[in-house]
Amino acid sequence: MATTLPKLILDTDPGGDDSLAFLWLLSLVNQGKAELIAVTSADGNVHARLTFVAAAKLLALCGHEAIEVGRGVIGGSEGDAEDAGYIHGADGMGNLSHTLPAIAHSYETARPADEVLIEKLKQAPGEITIVAIGPLTNLAAAEKKSPGVLHLAKEIVIMGGAFAAPGNITPEAEFNIAYDPEAAQLVFATCDNLIVLPLDVTRHVVFTPAMAAQVMEVAPTSPISKFVVDLCQFMVGTALAYRETEGQQGFLVHDASTLAYLFYPETLRFRRGQVEIETEGKWTRGKTLLDNRHAIKLTANAWVATDVDSVNVLALMIEDLKLLVKA
């Protein structure tokens, strides 16, 4: 039976873990397993101008300069939220962007990300999956500009939230949701085609220097493998400094779980539920909530990951990255 390639839009704010997930996706594209329709850079880990450059540089690094990059709608950086440059480096890429190729894209002339999302979704209703691994500002902006457009997505796969796990930007909230909780609230209130990969599972997926070395071993002179090793070295330093990995030499590749769901679904377990976003609480702003009471529930907007086979997620990612650097 013939299969249709998954059509994806990657909404991302690179970001160390975003960068590895991005490279993993490009490996899958190279293998003929997916079609990357567009990339929409998001205002998040660092300012939208920097995430645009980072996304364009990763495409250039892997020979995919022709893929359009949308310019992120400004969200959390206009408010009081603190970005994550202290974790990911001033450029969001471990201060390594200067080592990557020059870009063909221009931030000033790029189309806004919400316009890209609206156009692509309307051109192929029901066919495109959005992989959202940053704050949800772009998606919310698209929905506000063209009400109902997010329903045209086949599904929206989100790395975000924390349910039983503690938050990573506040005690109760995860960064991607808390950086622009109003945007997240709009998306979750509007959509019922959501797949959520929260900290509850992503905190178990730790990429180590030994894993980076496995990637480099197959192509020691590859610029991609050098970037993976250097980025890992930087990210491990900040992960240890901020006690993110319980002392393990590695860093959390949160965003990789979105691709595990799409391409290796046997590595995850889910439950269905109605996810709500707290936007007004003094201590809980950006918190994600699920009703766990044993009572009849008539609504649900999301499948939420509850368990992950982290060993195999990492093994699969490493093997796909090896194919990328050998290409």
Q: How confident is the model at residue 79 (pLDDT cuts 50, 70, 90)?
A: confident
Please check the confidence at residue 1 and state whether its pLDDT lies above 50.
no
Q: Decide: 197 and 21 in contact? Cβ < 8 Å.
A: no
Residue 2 has pLDDT above 60, yes or no: no
d(CA 49, CA 64): 20
Just list the catalytic residues.
254
Q: Alpha-carbon distance 280 to 271, whole Å?
A: 26
* Arithmetic mean of pLDDT over the chain: 96
- Structure confidence at residue 76 (pLDDT): 87
Does residue 327 surpass a pLDDT of 90?
no
pLDDT over 90 (residue 4): no
Give the domains, in start order, of the chain with CATH numbers: 7-326 (3.90.245.10)
- pLDDT tens-digit map of 26-71: 999 999 999 999 999 999 999 999 999 999 999 999 999 999 999 9
Question: Are 317 and 325 spatial neighbours (Cβ–Cβ below 8 Å)?
Answer: no
List the single range of 2-6, 48-52, 63-67, 97-101 with lowest mean pLDDT.
Answer: 2-6
Is the confidence at residue 264, as pLDDT, over 70? Answer: yes
Question: What is the CB neighbour count within 10 angstroms for residue 201?
Answer: 28
Q: Is the pLDDT of residue 3 over 80?
A: no
Partners of 10 in the beta sheet? Answer: 39, 131
The whole-number pLDDT of residue 294 equals 94
